[in-house]
Structure 1
């Protein structure tokens, strides 16, 4: 898996510098022809933090200003006002007690909530009664909790079941990401994501789909990742193997056969000799075998979780070694003496 992405940056607003600027602007408004604008610091805020709506390019000869919630001047949605001459603030119907207005027309909102998301309009009242307006906006996001993964089937059967993994909780304006085997979401025809990425579906699972799986949730101000989840994929048994591979034995040897089949959960084993059940063990041991033990040895593997069965057969031959054809030692000696006698007579 790739490393986690860096946490979103938190903008640190230098409030002391801004307040100093505010004080200077109270006594000096530089001539400007630039358009009045509003800058949100930050534009994406975490729930419970604070946001400063900073006014730029204020006109000259300001008598006062008002802030409104929304994109228009509406008396019912007025938050707070400020009168330059008296330096008095006048709260409005939309004032919550968390707003502070500064002499430079900037508005500080503390302990922001999700409901604070939206537009804010500054109305600048000039001495000539020709007002100017500008709007700015910001969005408030929640600090994301640690997500969790739930599964509709934690014990799927290989090549038979599908599995849906769901990342919770469901949070609006949140990005959902998945990590599989410590890597970002792989491209596979057997892996499908829902339209909101919250649900990961595995079609026809295999033993290689055990995981681990993690989900991550992100928004512009925070990120968090779930604990890893694994699947207990039930599979097998595969075709069993019998060891050792030896098939030919001599009378008096011990026959020790072991059977193994890949299986989850582990398989249950039984042995049949020439079609007759012998015992339910993984290892078959027969000491001091005879020729009568020759025959067909079948290992039967069963998985109670999948309901599958597999068998394999080993033909065992027990035989006496053949005597090598030829003359006995006594006969060979007699022939040799006869040959030597003939040589002497000649």
Structure 2
């Protein structure tokens, strides 16, 4: 009797060990992961195993059970789920995002229990970028842009300014899982074009560009005369003064001479055949009618006669030459006497 009991226990123990070994050796492998909404996914056992009965579940919800050539599909999966009664492979069709989860197969044939996780993602479509306003003032306005999609799941957002990636800083904020971009106190370098790039493991999309019109200036003025930094010129010279300034929209430019406005507008002031009385301070005055800001730059021009320092000694030398010859002759005669 004791021998029979020992034999029975040995057989049970052997079956349990075999079951544990089989359960540990078998894996569930999805045909694709992540899967795209609307496609089909097959969960196969590897290595291939013959199962006469078993069940499939996702989380705590049963999908189907089978025994021999009979299978019973639960109502929520009717028409979408089926099992290969020979291999135990589960096929799910027309998957949705809700089908994401951990799938478990169990069988009492060989004490099998194995699982695998699958993710179902919705592809991205129609990436749209919207700005609260596009007309902004430098240092006084904030830009806010929001990126959205018509469809898509598990989204990642990336912002681009031209060819450069936009990252968070003391002026740049990325919120709502990076779908909203806020730039505080915009500068002239924040004009764009800005794009929003959205991706997930199964798709990606990029928005159309958005540009901001940022009013700034006038500032960083420069004034040159005849393309040089020289301020001294000869009487009779022709002068062309060029005024440059950074401003958006372009600044209105006027000119002044000795503090009095002259009847000239635009970046150029031209003077022809100048005289000494045109020496003095010339100013370029800039005004931006969007920012209501002014700026100016001035230079002092000196108009002078040509220098005579090179010709006077020559004239004196020519006049003294005959006199020196006469003096030399007198000394020669006095020596003979």
Q: TM-score range by the shorter chain?
A: 0.7 to 0.9
Match of 2:304 in 1: 319
Match of 1:54 in 2: 44
Match of 1:23 in 2: none
Q: 1:259 aligns with which of 239, 243, 259?
A: 243
Is residue 254–residue 286 contact of structure 1 (8 Å, CA) maintained in 2? yes
Task: Structure 1: give runs of 5+ residues left out of the alignment.
Answer: 1-30, 74-78
Is residue 177–residue 217 contact of structure 1 (8 Å, CA) maintained in 2? yes
Q: Identify, as 1 or 2, the structure richer in helix.
A: 2
Q: Which has the larger radius of gyration?
A: 2
Offset at residue 202 of structure 1 (A): 2.3
Q: How many residues align?
A: 305
CA distance in 2, matches of 1:149, 1:155: 16
Structure-2 change in CA distance of 1:58 and 1:292 (3 Å): closer
Q: 2:295 aligns with which of 310, 320, 333?
A: 310
Q: 2:186 aligns with which of 202, 205, 214?
A: 205
Is residue 72–residue 121 contact of structure 1 (8 Å, CA) maintained in 2? no
Aligned residue runs from structure 1 range 56-205, under 5 A? 62=52, 64-68=53-57, 70-73=59-62, 79-84=63-68, 87-103=69-85, 104-122=87-105, 124=107, 136-169=116-149, 172-186=153-167, 188-194=169-175, 196-205=177-186
2:290 partner SS:
coil
Offset at residue 217 of structure 1 (A): 1.9
CA distance in 2, matches of 1:197, 1:239: 36
**Coordinate RMSD, CA, aligned:** 3.3
CA distance in 2, matches of 1:131, 1:94: 27
Offset at residue 131 of structure 1 (A): 8.8
Offset at residue 271 of structure 1 (A): 0.5
CA distance in 1, matches of 2:128, 2:333: 109
Match of 1:269 in 2: 253
1:263 partner SS:
strand
Offset at residue 32 of structure 1 (A): 4.2
CA distance in 1, matches of 2:252, 2:56: 77
TM-score by length of 1: 0.74
